[in-house]
Amino acid sequence: MQDYQKAHAPVPGTDRDIFDLRGIDRGAGALVVVRPDQYVSLLLPLDGFVELDDFFSGFMVEPR
């Protein structure tokens, strides 16, 4: 694997760790929004509900 931005877990035996790269607290965890093309769109703490709502409100529409 060459693109460590698409790593969704630690890569043992390397100095590239997704927790360190993304600033994720190992004890607290994180909420990650990943697009179908594996692009990491958003990274939040687990209690980031308001930020998550703001993110999706920017492009999602209410159903009629």
Query: Domain spans of the chain?
Result: 25-64
The amino acid at 38 = Q
So what's the pLDDT on residue 29?
85
Say if strands 40-44 and 31-34 run parallel, antiparallel, or are unpaired.
Answer: antiparallel
Residues in a beta bridge with 44: 31
- What number of CA atoms fall less than 13 Å from residue 60's CA on the CB side? 8
So what's the pLDDT on residue 8?
61
pTM given for the model: 0.63
How many angstroms separate the Cα of 56 from the Cα of each of 13, 16, 43, 50, 61? 36, 30, 13, 10, 9
Low-confidence stretches of the chain (pLDDT < 70) are 1-10
So what's the pLDDT on residue 7?
57
